[in-house]
Amino acid sequence: MEKTYFIATLAFGWFITLGLGVFTYFGFRLGYPLIGIMFIAITIASAAMNILLIKKWKRTF
């Protein structure tokens, strides 16, 4: 894959992860623990995929 693909995917991936973190925070703050827990799971999965992509990028380049 191209280097620009990795950079763009990582940038947008971390942007989405940060957005999910904000939604998680406000889910708990507004008193919706179930929504907060769901967003925590999605945020962890998103961060894990970003970390795996970073590892793949290090092996590729």
DSSP state of 2: -
Burial class (CB in 10 A: 0-12, 13-18, 19+), 11: exposed
27 in Cβ contact with 36 (< 8 Å): yes
What's the rounded Cα separation, in Å, for the pair 7 and 1?
A: 11
**Computed from CA positions of residues 39, 40, 45, 51, in that sequence, does the dihedral angle turn out positive or negative?**
positive
pLDDT tens digit sequence for 13-58: 999 999 999 999 999 999 999 999 999 999 999 999 999 999 998 8
pLDDT of residue 39: 96
**Computed from CA positions of residues 31, 37, 43, 46, in that sequence, does the dihedral angle turn out positive or negative?**
negative
